[in-house]
């Protein structure tokens, strides 16, 4: 199923698919915050390192299949399949968008 994602979010998932931490970081504003697996990453360097660690620790694919708006967030539900404990899993990516960049992202089960 294909969904029409806002541009910053589409760029995020495209960069994630390529495993490019540098490209993924360019999707975020300079002071963006990412919350994933109980950890918080603030700023582009921390976000780049978070993606680098995730892509070297696990091999995975992510397929967005649903989009919703909740308060000031865009929530994208995606199926994540890979060599990690609990695979496959559906995750909700809660994006805060400012202009053409992601200002915040929280990833939850």
Residue 89 contacts residue 80 (beta carbons within 8 Å) = yes
Instruction: Please state which of the ranges 27-31, 33-37, 83-87, 95-99 shows the lowest mean pLDDT.
Output: 83-87
8 A C-beta contact, residue 13 and residue 7: no
For residue 2, is it within any domain? no
Average pLDDT, the chain: 93
- Across the strands, what pairs with 74? 69, 95
- Return the CATH number at 35: 3.10.450.50
Residue 73 lies in a domain: yes
What pTM was estimated for this model as a whole? 0.92
Structural domain including 104 reads: 7-108
**Does the CA dihedral 77-39-31-45 come out positive or negative?**
negative
* DSSP-assigned letters across all residues of 18-50: HT-HHHHHTTEEEEEEEEETTEEEESHHHHHHH
**Would the pLDDT of 85 be above 80?**
yes
pLDDT bracket for residue 20 (50, 70, 90): confident
Which of the pair, 46 or 1, is modelled with greater confidence? 46
Cβ atoms < 10 Å from Cβ of 86: 8
pLDDT band at 1 (very low <50, low <70, confident <90, very high): low
In a domain, 97, yes or no: yes
Using alpha carbons only, what angle is made at residue 99 by residues 52 and 69, rounded to the nearest 5 degrees?
A: 85
The answer to whether residue 1 is domain-embedded is no
Residues 5 and 76: beta-carbon distance below 8 Å: yes
Residue 52 lies in a domain: yes
């Amino acid at each position: 199923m294909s969904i029409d994602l806002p541009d910053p979010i589409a760029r995020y998932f495209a960069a994630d698919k390529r495993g490019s931490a540098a490209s993924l970081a360019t999707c975020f504003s300079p002071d963006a915050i990412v919350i994933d697996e109980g950890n918080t990453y603030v700023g582009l360097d921390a976000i780049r390192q978070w993606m680098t660690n995730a892509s070297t620790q696990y091999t995975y694919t992510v397929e967005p299949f649903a989009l919703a708006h909740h308060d000031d967030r865009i929530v994208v539900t995606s199926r994540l399949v890979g060599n990690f404990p609990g695979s496959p899993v559906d995750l909700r990516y809660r994006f805060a968008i400012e202009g053409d960049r992601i200002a915040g992202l929280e990833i939850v089960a």
